[in-house]
Amino acid sequence: MDYEAALRAIFRRTDFERQNQPPYSDRVYRLGRMEELLSQFGHPQRAFASVHVAGTKGKGSVTAMTEAILRAAGYRTGMYTSPHLHTFRERIQAEGRPIAEEDVARLVERMLPVLDARPEVTVFEVITALAMYYYAELGVQIGVFEVGLGGRLDATNVLAPLVSVITSLSLDHVKVLGGTLEAIAREKAGIIKPGVPVVTAPQKREAMEVVRRTAAERGAPLVEVGRDWRWRSRGASADGQRLDVFRRGSERAPEYADLRMPLLGMHQLENACAAVAAVEVLRERGVAVTEDAVRRGLERVEWPGRLEVLGRRPWVLVDGAHNVYSMERMLSAVGALIPYRRLILIVGIGVTHSPRELLAVMLPAAATVFATRSRHVKATPPEELAALVERLGRRAVVTHSVAEALSAALDAATPDDLVLTTGSLFVVAEAREAWARLQGLPLPPSDPPGVY
């Protein structure tokens, strides 16, 4: 089996990332099915320690920060995230490197007899099992796992982590997880395990009540960012930002003074504080991490496609915001960090991510709008986006690919303008590829066409 055949073997199954997602219920998302599958491979999830990260906004960033810190501390790390930007292999990383094509092919071929006997196992469950199998084989010491969807019934929730983390919660995937913040918080808080410490980012009142109640019911010590651990900014620019992180009462002598990181946006300060708080829990549980490792990890963390500056004069920025809350935070960060004259907006949105609500947030900031779509099957047609823009009192230029939109936007931009691509990580990925082609830069790694 080669890499392409392995991907086809994975993605021929039920794929809720690309197909309609049913409501979040035990009948569809069955942890028992995942546990039984892993039992056939010798329970690989038990071979390494883990950190488990759920949330609406920031879970990927916190996962990346925590992994970077642990790797800087000398641990053999795994990092499991989704979705990917350019290649499937990004989802399963070990020691900062994506899994090799030959390892995907070799392990999927080995797993195939078990998988063929279980046609009901989903794409995400296969990928999660593959990551755990790979990490066990490789001798990973600590795996940092990002939840795929929700938390309570997510395939990653078979883990017995040293610490759980819940990042900022807001309304997203409401047709699947529920239409209220309390309902979504209940699903996310489902990763809290009896007796296992949990770190939470600051939450709105109704979400925090759910997290606190769940932690208390399960005897899980709760660490609250904003209460127990705090942060303050030391300044930011388009090149990165600096911050202090400290326990409550240590404002004058911070435990971590003048940390630096390349990720942009005030929300990343909150995420960095959550990652440091999680690392502090790990230290209390016997994982050795020095202050220097925290510093080096944050300085080197990479999380592309999130408030990422690709070019200057004009500014070219990409961000994968795809819900109202994250869009508002992103636009606030852009306004604070990037000095620009006009904002030229390239927007593509998935059909499941409330296009009208997102456009209502974006349009007031934009001088010119290019409506586009990614190649993803759940992308909203650009003509529909343009019609929504018109109903909101504006006009949009319809383009049929992200590359076309980026070229047109750059042609329309002056050196003092900002070209912003947003609305979907899939649109961001294609913008990064198109930018590399336009600039004659090496293209990001990719997968064979048509395998998903």
What structural domains and CATH numbers belong to the chain? Answer: 3-300 (3.40.1190.10), 308-439 (3.90.190.20)
Task: Name the nearest CA neighbour of 448 among 132, 7, 91, 1.
Answer: 7
- Cβ atoms of 205 and 181 within 8 Å: the answer is no
pLDDT at 243 over 90: yes
pTM: 0.92
pLDDT above 60 for 409: yes
Mean pLDDT estimate for the chain: 93
Q: Show the tokens assigned to 360.
A: 């209502």
Would you place residue 21 in the very low, low, confident or very high pLDDT band (cuts 50, 70, 90)? low
275-294 mean pLDDT: 97
Give 99's contacts (C-beta < 8 A, 6+ positions apart): 89, 92, 93, 134
Instruction: Look up residue 94 and give its amino acid.
Output: A
Q: Band of the pLDDT at 444, cuts 50, 70, 90?
A: very high
- Per the rule left: phi > 0, alpha: psi between -120 and 50, beta: everything else, 185 is alpha
Beta-carbon count within 10 A of 254 CB: 17
What pLDDT score was predicted for residue 113? 96
Question: Which pLDDT belongs to residue 179?
Answer: 72
Q: What percent of the chain has pLDDT over 70?
A: 95
Q: Is the pLDDT of residue 152 over 60?
A: yes
Residues 261-276, mean pLDDT to the nearest whole number: 95
DSSP labels for 3-51?
HHHHHHHHHTS--TTTSPPPPS-TTTS-HHHHHHHHHTTT-GGGSSEEE
Q: What pLDDT score does 164 carry?
A: 98
Q: Give the model's pLDDT for residue 392.
A: 95
Binning pLDDT at 50, 70 and 90, where does residue 412 land? very high
Residue 286 burial class via C-beta count within 10 angstroms: exposed 0-12, middle 13-18, buried 19 and up? exposed
Dihedral sign computed on CA atoms, order 260, 261, 267, 271: negative
Would you state the pLDDT for residue 14? 73
Residue 217, C-beta contacts closer than 8 angstroms, at least 6 positions apart: none
Residue 373: which of 342, 407, 397, 350 has the closest Cα? 350
16-20, 55-59, 447-451: range with lowest mean pLDDT:
16-20
DSSP state of 316: E
| pLDDT tens profile 299-347 | 999 999 999 999 999 999 999 988 888 899 899 989 888 999 999 999 9
